[in-house]
Each structure stands twice: as structure tokens, then as C-alpha cells.
Amino acid sequence: MKILEVKRHLNKPDQSYLCDLFHRGGDQIVLKYVSDRPGRVADILFDSGTTTYAIYTTGEGYVLWKMVDPQGNLKGHLFHICRDLEVHQDHVDYLDLLLDVWVDQNGHVSVLDRDELEECALKGVVGQTELAWIEEQEKRIQANWNRMIADLDRLCTTSPTVV
């Protein structure tokens, strides 16, 4: 079954991706997406054919991606801090709040796009309410990323399920 991911942005056009349903349970969904072109996260390059597993939970403050290269090797995990995350029957949507947390395959954690967030804050695109939310989510991710990743990895190693 195909599910549409709608990623809304504060400072650029929205993006949509048609993904495969991998797991559904209650208000949580895991989608699988195989890229048809090369990409990048910060300075990490990804080949065409890279597979992303992403977990979405209604009301959660992040979307977590697990990224695996075409040979099946883990590249890392990416947390997109967000708000207004909603899981629907045929789509998921959320507002991306710019700041990302990258955890590479060795467990090294990096915070990405802080400069973009600061620039948007200076321009008034991001307000104090959003900044406080982002800070709260970043702290939560930094303190719990091991468990959060383990939860997604567990779902990715089982057979696809729809509950």
C-alpha cells in the first residue's frame, strides 16, 4: 500500500513523497522509501537506491529516519524536529522545524541546520514558541536517542505488519 508523506516547511515549498507502508499500529506508522536519485544529509552523500525507513506517531515532536545504503549498510539515523504531526489512513503530514539531529552508524551525534534555524528566527519566520518547542525536542532526543532508534530498528527488522 502506498502512503503519501507531506513535509511542510517554514521557509521553502512543501515536499511530498510517495512511500510504501511498512508497519501500522494505532496512531503510529513506519514508511519505507527507496530514493531514485543521490542525496545528502549535511556532508554525508547517499547513493541512488538508498532506503529510508521513517517512523511517524501522531502528536510526536520528531520524525525519525533510518537510512541504509543500497548494499544494506547502515548510514545513520536522522531526527527531524517537527510539530503538528498527524498520521492518517492514506498520508502523514507534519511541519518541519528546521533543526535535525544526525546519529551516524558509530553513534556519533551531530546537530544540523542550527544556522538555518537562527537565520529564520532573526527574520521572524520562527517565533519564541517554536524555538522553545525545538529546544525541548532537541534535549529529549539527545537524552533518549538510543531508545528511540532501538524502537524503530526493532520495527524495521520484523516483517511488515499492518494492524
Q: Which H or E element spans position 149?
A: helix 128-156
Which pLDDT tens digit goes with each residue over 3-56? 999 999 999 999 999 999 999 988 899 999 999 999 888 788 899 999 999 999
pLDDT at 101: 98
Angle among Cα 68, 111, 118 to the nearest 5 degrees reads 130
52-73 tens-digit pLDDT: 999 999 999 999 999 999 999 9
**163 inside domain:** no
Residue 70 carries which side chain, given as an amino acid letter?
P
DSSP 2-21: EEEEEEE-SSS--EEEEEEE
CA 115, CA 31: separation in Å to the nearest integer?
A: 29
Least confident among 22-26, 100-104, 113-117: 22-26
Q: CB atoms < 10 A from the CB of 104, how many? A: 15
What is the spatial distance between Cα 50 and Cα 74, in angstroms, rounded to a whole number? 10
- C-alpha cell of residue 151: 524502537
Residue 126 counted as domain residue: yes
Count of the separate structural domains present in the chain: 1
Q: Is residue 162 part of a domain?
A: no
- Encode pLDDT of 124-160 as tens digits: 999 999 999 999 999 999 999 999 999 999 988 876 6
Residue 129 domain-assigned? yes
Its domain, for residue 103, covers 2-157
Instruction: Establish if 144 belongs to a structural domain.
Output: yes
Do residues 76 and 105 make contact, with C-beta atoms less than 8 angstroms apart? yes
| Predicted local distance difference test score (pLDDT) of residue 159 | 60
Where residue 92 sits, what CATH number does that domain have? 2.40.380.10
> Cα separation of 36 and 127, whole Å?
36
Q: Does a structural domain hold residue 16? A: yes
